[in-house]
Amino acid sequence: EAQVTQNPRYLITVTGKKLTVTCSQNMNHEYMSWYRQDPGLGLRQIYYSMNVEVTDKGDVPEGYKVSRKEKRNFPLILESPSPNQTSLYFCASSSPSTGTAYGYTFGSGTRLTVV
Amino acid sequence: DAKTTQPNSMESNEEEPVHLPCNHSTISGTDYIHWYRQLPSQGPEYVIHGLTSNVNNRMASLAIAEDRKSSTLILHRATLRDAAVYYCILRSLNYGGSQGNLIFGKGTKLSVKP
């Protein structure tokens, strides 16, 4: 089944403790992206990647890092999490073709709480 | 970035058609019109996209105005499972850099009454 898999689904952590949220897709998509969703602010893009070793900042990149060493994986790294990074996170992937694959496929989300 | 305007909320009765409007008066010739929906407690889900012609798939139909400045997502028979936030988004055909990104607005919250 074509899918984007995020782990973990739920995470509670303490301020300053480094964490990584993993994202993997099995559709051979070039394009991957991370979003966060907060009440009243909607979905905002954190980082995106056009392909392996190509990443760029989205609208709210502060406090986050990403890497794209392999096509299928796009981990989101919080080196020193703070309470304002408590949010619902989504990973997504897409292909540059203009067919059906041009639509984004989203993961099920990771609910992160930083205390 | 080209922007879209959607009503904040709409209501529908179950098993009736639903027409969700979207205005995008500043759309460029290379922008595709994408629709996504987000069910409660789930990630956004791709619904449909189009460029100039009307499009149909198993989930919905997309009607695009001749001048491309507006579009309508049509759910032919709403079910309770269609209650969600529906997002109309423009995505550039020019894939380079940030132009291929999906920038989400507030969307339309659709309620379906039994």
Amino acid letter, A44: R
User: Is residue A98 predicted with pLDDT exceeding 60?
Assistant: no
Is any Cβ of chain A less than 8 angstroms from the Cβ of B104?
yes
pLDDT tens-digit series, residues A51-86: 899 999 999 999 999 999 999 999 999 999 999 999
Instruction: Give the integer Cα–Cα distance in Å for B36 and B29.
Output: 21
Which residues in chain B show pLDDT less than 70?
1-2, 93-100
Is any Cβ of chain B less than 8 angstroms from the Cβ of A34?
no
Ordered DSSP codes for A17-77? --EEEEEEESS--SEEEEEEEETTTEEEEEEEEEETTEEEE-S--TT-EE--SSSSB--EE
Terminal C-alpha separation, chain B: 39
Residues 6+ apart with CB under 8 A from B7: B21, B108
| Pair A97, A83: CB distance under 8 Å | no
**Cα of A15 to nearest chain B Cα, Å:** 25
**Cα of A107 to nearest chain B Cα, Å:** 6
- Mean pLDDT over A5-33 rounds to 96
- Mean pLDDT over A13-39 rounds to 95
Query: So what's the pLDDT on residue A101?
Result: 47
Is any Cβ of chain B less than 8 angstroms from the Cβ of A103?
yes
Nearest CA among A15, A3, A95, A40 for reference residue B107: A40
Q: Kindly list the residues from chain A whose CB atom is less than 8 angstroms away from the CB atom of residue B96.
A: 50
Q: Kindly list the residues from chain A whose CB atom is less than 8 angstroms away from the CB atom of residue B49.
A: 102-103
φ/ψ (deg, to 5) at A97: -70, 165
* Residue A40, both tokens: 């009243």
Beta carbons of A102 and B49 less than 8 Å apart: yes
Instruction: Give the integer Cα–Cα distance in Å for A76 and A78.
Output: 7
Q: Kindly list the residues from chain A whose CB atom is less than 8 angstroms away from the CB atom of residue B101.
A: 33, 45, 48, 58
Beta carbons of B44 and A107 less than 8 Å apart: no
Instruction: Give the integer Cα–Cα distance in Å for B76 and B73.
Output: 10
